[in-house]
Amino acid sequence: MRKALLGCAAALAMGAAGALAAPVQAQAQRPNVVFILADNVGYGDMGPYGGGELRGAPTPRTDQMAREGLRLTQFLVEPACTPSRAALMTGQYSIRNGLSLIIVPGTPSTLSGKAFTMGDMFHAAGYATAIYGKWHLGSEPQSLPTAHGFDEFYGIPPDTSWDSATYVDTIALTRSIEAPYQDLLAKGPYIVEAAAGGPLRKVKPFTPAVRAEIDNELTAKSVDFIKRQHAAGKPFFLYLPFSMGHVPNLPSREFAGKSRIGNYGDKLMEGDHHVGQVLDALRELGIDNDTLVVFASDNGPYGEVAFNFGNQGTPDMGNSGPYRGELGEASEGAVRTFAFIRWPGHVAANTTSNAMFSIMDFLPTLAGIVGGKMPNDRPIDGVDQSDVLFVRSATGRREGLLSFIGPDLVAARWKQWRVYFTDIHPTGIGPQRAPGLGSASAPMAGYPKLFNIEMDPHEDRNVGAVFGWGAEGPLKEVEAYEKSLKGHPNPPAPNITNFRGE
């Protein structure tokens, strides 16, 4: 019975995927697209989700953005930075590109030259394209954003994150490399830039002082790009993955001390300000109604593991709202965060959707809106969610989502059910009580753990013994994914603990 149900579900899933291969009819007027990505800002941090002023860090500009557009309350990402950004750019689960762990310099993990990205889609559709900020998909020549459809790139090293600004200081602190400070600084990391098809060029050392002011630079470059493309009469795609939310949250001089909760709050307020600057530029140029703007976060909060980056005892960490988890975990609070979508005259103002919406869904959705083409030679896990944007559907076209960490499929969502296939030790009050079927000493005792996110947002109660049928939906998602691997096997998954010399 179960195999029959799974087979039926897999067939339906593959059929739906085929139906989504053709983009929806493009708008008569193709919009410009601005995608602003925060870094590890939790579900409970922004004002429209119960944060903002109540959190001690007012976010008036993004509060306004939410009132002028669509707020997603079930926006789901992958468990960490590189995986989420790979999923956003490719419309695929990160494991399909071998990027299901955070890229660490010195490891072979890097975006393949054969990958199809959001930059490629917009470039082929005739858009000017730029990225300012964090790429985090690899620094090999074939992995750079300028090798994947982006005309311009300026930002931090494309194989590291914002905390790399501390590397030289902590190397000097620990004396791990005995060398003069200036020699360590000369080795990097560096702020870099590149043009389409060209190599990376060093601009300046990436230090804590530069880190504090970097979002000012990135926003200024973004506004300049918008003005240049508007003057040229060319549609544009701007990708602004700035630093708001990621440790160490070092606020700029203008925002230091502005919030009531220390550096983290200061940086939330600063990021809110920068979003406002971009929106103001669009208004001043008279292209506000011609531009679709997305503001979202790549992950849940960077919490307990790095809270001591804060100042004067304040925790440098986000808030996952009612959910359990933080960056690196597969629990709900790690993979559910905020997203706003604004396009005056097209996306209805002051609307909220609880449709399940994956970060992978943005690529096929935007392709449909601008008339871009999606590849048909690989599985695309994202689905076109334009019906959610334009209030034609309350539920959207997604019922489930899988979560991978490294080589392992660790969890799945289906509707309000979350199931774990590996033992987890979530952030919070400690190991969950696991009597009966879950109490054996063998890992997982052979049974998955099951939680109902609506009944139990904090995932405190494993209800597998009560709702035994609840795992069936998530298992359908697994079955459909496994079927897709028969024709399109994944590359080797990243692993930084097993070294076989192969």
Catalytically active residues, by annotation: 81, 136
Chain center to CA of 289: 26
Query: Could you tell me which of 420, 291, 384, 400 has the C-alpha nearest to residue 344?
Result: 291
Contact 4, 264 (CB under 8 A): no
Strand ranges for 316-398 from DSSP E: 336-342, 351-353, 357-358
Torsion sign across C-alpha atoms 224, 226, 230, 233: positive
Distance CA 328, CA 82 (A): 11
Residue 48 CB neighbours (<10 A)? 18
Pure H helices in 20-117? 60-67, 81-90
Contact 265, 56 (CB under 8 A): yes
Per-residue burial over 456-466, b if 16 or more Cβ lie within 10 Å, else e, is: bbbbeebebee
> Residue type for 59, please?
T
Backbone phi and psi for residue 5, each to the nearest 5 degrees, phi listed first? -65, -40
Distance CA 345, CA 476 (A): 38
Distance CA 293, CA 401 (A): 25
Distance CA 414, CA 421 (A): 14
Residue 283 CB neighbours (<10 A)? 12
Residue 392 CB neighbours (<10 A)? 9
> Residue type for 344, please?
P
Distance CA 104, CA 109 (A): 8
Contact 116, 94 (CB under 8 A): no
Q: Which residues pair with 352 in a beta bridge?
A: 71
H/E run at residue 33: strand 32-38
Distance CA 407, CA 305 (A): 22
Distance CA 226, CA 109 (A): 33
Instruction: Categorise residue 445: left if φ over 0, alpha if ψ from -120 to 50, beta otherwise.
Output: left
